[in-house]
Structure 1
Amino acid sequence: MSFTSLLFYGLLLLAGLLLLWLARRYAQERQYRRRPYVAPAHNDWAARPLPPGRPRHRVALLGDPGAVATDGTDPILRLLEQWEQETGPAGTIVLLGDNIYPTGLPAPEHPGRTVAVARFNALLTTLGRFEGQVVLLSGNHDWNKGRPNGWEYLRRQEAYVREHLPAAHYLPPNGAPGPVSVQLTEGLLLIVLNTQWWVQSGPRPAADSRRPFRELRELLAANAHQQVLVAGHHPLYSNALHGGKFTAKQHVFPLTTVHKRAYLPLPFIGSLLPLYRKWVGAAEDMAHPRYRKMRRRLLRVLHDFPEVIYAAGHDHNLQYFQRQGGHYLVSGAGSKTAFVQKGGQAAFVHEHQGFFSLDFYSPHETWLRTLEPGNCPEVFRLHLRTLPAPPADNRPFAAEITQLFRR
């Protein structure tokens, strides 16, 4: 048999194996897509009741709400309004970026300005009814999808918030990398990072790229007595697209990753795009060198401070990971949904609109709740450990905490 024949049959065998793998993946995905996945260790979550009484503070983590409906029917805005009414003033809403799709807030003369303003106004109106605090972060779409003129778009959006919702905090200000801290209540600190700063191309505020991580480490060390929530737009763990996870359909119809209706079949060749996104990465992917460096440096800090919660958006689904003692959330399902792979390192994932609520009862009693529109709004909850466990005789520990709060 000639070399040409061997090559032909080898390629044919490879193509057959790829087709079998895609068919198997497709069959598996059909079984679990859009269904909540809970790791076996947490299958009894529904039998674990919440503590009695109201939490001392609640935090809603809502990412990627930039495409909400503007006619008053948006399910996420309705769910958020319900959360606001139940929470009252003892709460904080954190928007995790991508507040306006598709490219942030354009200039007044831009043809997309009207739609962008309508969407943003619907969101700000809902936030304006809340009695508690509101914090907004920026994401890559708010920076004109990371294009070189993105800083201009970011500053325009920040100015719009200052004008129309002056009580809110847009952090970090002026597109700086941060970190910026906000004391939400006694014993609970929010730290905000502008993760887009590290992956943005073009002009941005001048800063030393390493210094924010040193400052974050100092902040965490100085606040070891508090519960700490760190918020940024980009996730540090993800079972979804930006983490290099793709559906079988996206291998055959790769352009659907850009537009969901772009059904141009490119079998075999189409697998090159998912592989590129997984190993090389577009600017918004974990595999991209700038994102990878930012993630590595940030994890190096956070892994030294177990029990800290890190919340992000970016991927359009709900995910929870517990890694090296820390808690990592992806809450980017504020207006869109996209594929998320079950299992792996994730304790919970769901391809569904919704957001996470963190309910802080006491220094050792924090609950993560997954809220989604529908007849059964809570689909998962988990008790999180967010401070080192007290000693058996906790009276000295409690006295020490009280003294720290008084300083």
Structure 2
Amino acid sequence: MEKLVVLLALLPCVFMKTLWDPLKDDPPSLRFAVIGDWGGLPLPPYNTKQELMVAAELANTVAKWGADFIVSVGDNFYYDGVKDVKDYRFQKTFENVFDGESLQNVPWYVVAGNHDHNGNVSAQIAYTNVSSRWIYPDLYYDLSFKIPSTNVSVRLLMLDTIVLCGNSDDHVGGQPLGAANPKLAEEQLDWLIKKLESSKDDYLLVAGHYPVWSIAEHGPTSCLLKHLEPLLKKYKVTAYLCGHDHNMQYLQDDRGIGYVLSGAGNFMEHSRRHKDEVPEGYLRFYQGDQETMGAFAYVRITPTAMNVTYIQSGGKSLFQTSLYPRSL
């Protein structure tokens, strides 16, 4: 026994102290994962190895740390969405993949991506009435939470950035082509402004598919830089959650707004082609290496901080950062 103790003492330390330890006494918190671009393939087996590995790690993380919900930031079904509410892709790409025991009672709050809009988004909305954990009440909607045992409030505004900016062709430039229905785009923008104006919440989050800022293959979304970014700054939004680029990025602007890009649910693309279009100092973290086999962001909000951890398949923590309650 003494030899064993000495041997263990001589082993190199392989554990790093993280920003928070979920296994120790913890203040009340709201916890969720952000996952994007996880939508499998349109051919058998209707998923990818990366999607399966991300789903397994998501289940492991939720079992270990807990989660109140999942935020799905679009491209739920590659490459052309679903046809109707009975489409087999709901089972083959979602239900049968994210099937870990710890995920069974965790609600998924969903928005659509550009590939979803190639199909029938109304069918994805209608699937809310079929699945107990798929929650997609409308193209854009408002969620409000309280951190348990506190009066600290968290508001999450779920946007449809394709309705707002138009669809995009990944093979032709990648930028949205302009709103297909300008009236619907204007209605969504008006709705968003009213929600932002009225929010007195301690944490205010906005989620959509397209990124505001990105160094990767699609780059910053010009439409969102014009219409959304000024609103995020004006109303002191805590963070913007998105996907679209198939990697993991964390950016933070000069106002302290966090940009959480989580688009590595199904593919991984190592691209920095638009790095010169992002202001210097904004990019704090980037991971696009294929050997990571996908990742997602895990968010824990307490009364004093919003902690963001990027977790790759297999459980390695890639990056952690913290944001803080709004000062109104």
Establish whether residue 104 from structure 1 lines up as the match of residue 81 from structure 2.
yes
- Does the aligned pair in 1 maintain the 2:36–2:243 contact within 8 Å? yes
How many percent identity over aligned positions?
24
| Long gaps (5+) in structure 1 | 1-45, 145-149, 245-285, 287-291, 390-407
- Does the aligned pair in 1 maintain the 2:205–2:239 contact within 8 Å? yes
**Which residue is equivalent to 2:70?**
93
Matched to 2:83, the amino acid is P
Aligned with 1:210 (options 186, 190, 208): 186
Aligned with 2:306 (options 343, 361, 366): 366
Aligned with 2:320 (options 370, 375, 381): 381
**Which residue is equivalent to 2:201?**
225
| Long gaps (5+) in structure 2 | 1-15, 41-45, 148-152, 168-176
Query: For residues 18-46 of structure 1, what are the alpha-carbon distances to aligned partners after superposition, in whole Å with 9 as ceiling and x for unaligned?
Result: xxxxxxxxxxxxxxxxxxxxxxxxxxxx6
How far the C-alpha of 1:156 sits from its partner, in A, is 2.0
Q: Size of the alignment, in residue pairs? A: 279
Establish whether residue 348 from structure 1 lines up as the match of residue 324 from structure 2.
no
CA 1:355/1:184 → structure 2, altered by over 3 Å: closer, same or farther?
same
Matched to 2:62, the amino acid is E
Q: What SS does the corresponding residue of 1:155 show, helix, strand or coil?
A: helix
How is 1:2-151 mapped onto 2 (pairs within 5 angstroms)? 49-50=19-20, 53-54=25-26, 56-67=29-40, 69=47, 74-88=52-66, 91-106=68-83, 117-123=91-97, 125-126=99-100, 129-144=103-118, 150=119
How far the C-alpha of 1:138 sits from its partner, in A, is 0.7
TM-score by length of 2: 0.74
Query: For residues 208-242 of structure 1, what are the alpha-carbon distances to aligned partners after superposition, in whole Å with 9 as ceiling and x for unaligned?
Result: 53343333233223223321121101100001111
Separation in 2 of the partners of 1:330 and 1:219?
A: 23
CA 1:115/1:372 → structure 2, altered by over 3 Å: closer, same or farther?
same
Establish whether residue 182 from structure 1 lines up as the match of residue 143 from structure 2.
yes
Q: What SS does the corresponding residue of 1:97 show, helix, strand or coil?
A: coil
Per residue, is there more helix in 1 or in 2? 1
Establish whether residue 303 from structure 1 lines up as the match of residue 269 from structure 2.
no
Does 91-100 or 338-347 show the bigger shift?
338-347
Matched to 1:223, the amino acid is S
Q: What SS does the corresponding residue of 2:160 show, helix, strand or coil?
A: coil
Query: For residues 341-376 of structure 1, what are the alpha-carbon distances to aligned partners after superposition, in whole Å with 9 as ceiling and x for unaligned?
Result: 2795311110141011111121x22111011113x5
Matched to 1:49, the amino acid is L
How far the C-alpha of 1:136 sits from its partner, in A, is 1.1
Establish whether residue 192 from structure 1 lines up as the match of residue 149 from structure 2.
no
**Which residue is equivalent to 2:7?**
none
How far the C-alpha of 1:192 sits from its partner, in A, is 0.5
Q: What SS does the corresponding residue of 2:200 show, helix, strand or coil?
A: coil
**Which residue is equivalent to 1:235?**
211
Query: For residues 266-298 of structure 1, what are the alpha-carbon distances to aligned partners after superposition, in whole Å with 9 as ceiling and x for unaligned?
Result: xxxxxxxxxxxxxxxxxxxx3xxxxx2343111
How far the C-alpha of 1:59 sits from its partner, in A, is 1.5
- Does the aligned pair in 2 maintain the 1:305–1:326 contact within 8 Å? no
CA 1:298/1:360 → structure 2, altered by over 3 Å: closer, same or farther?
same
How far the C-alpha of 1:107 sits from its partner, in A, is 5.4
- Does the aligned pair in 2 maintain the 1:309–1:328 contact within 8 Å? yes
